[in-house]
Amino acid sequence: MVWRRWRGVVAAVGAAYLLGLVVVVASPWGWELNRLTVDLYVQLRYDWPIAPDWVSPEHYGALLNVVLFVPFGALAVLVTGRPWWWVIPAAALASVAIELAQGRWLARDDSSWDVVANTAGALLGALAITLRGRTR
């Protein structure tokens, strides 16, 4: 597999991603993240009217949660060499741990929908790497 040659680089990128993930989910930036979703909503609904009428700021929050975990899935497959389906329970467990920490110890809201969105993002990342590997 081509990725073995780059395993050290992938591991370094993975460590940087995990550090960034911890900073994003453990920081007291809940208000700022909510503001980001509202700004995206306003931008895409009114400034550049490309979003459908039924889209709400909560949809952008879910989309950001999906995007946040795409690298998790991709890096999990690359670093561990495990199949894509192995990533799904690992991502779900990581997301549940994050949501529990946010709800219990941090001044953030926890949500089961965030777990679903995070797991979906990890699935997309894992499948993208798996399919890319098969086409080589």
Tens of pLDDT, residues 74-97: 999 988 888 999 999 999 999 999
All residues at 6 or more sequence positions from 45 whose CB lies less than 8 Å from its CB, including other chains:
51, 55
CA 58 from centre of chain:
16
Q: What is the mean pLDDT of residues 38-55?
A: 88
Q: What is the pTM of this model?
A: 0.84
Q: Are 78 and 129 in contact (CB under 8 A)?
A: yes
Cα–Cα distances (Å) from 81 to 30, 77, 88, in that order, read 34, 5, 14
How many separate domains does the chain show?
1
Q: What is the mean pLDDT of residues 17-34?
A: 82
The whole domain housing 57 covers 2-135
pLDDT higher than 80, residue 136: no
Return d(Cα 87, Cα 80) in angstroms, integer: 10
**pLDDT value at residue 57:** 87
Q: Which two tokens stand for residue 94?
A: 């990581």
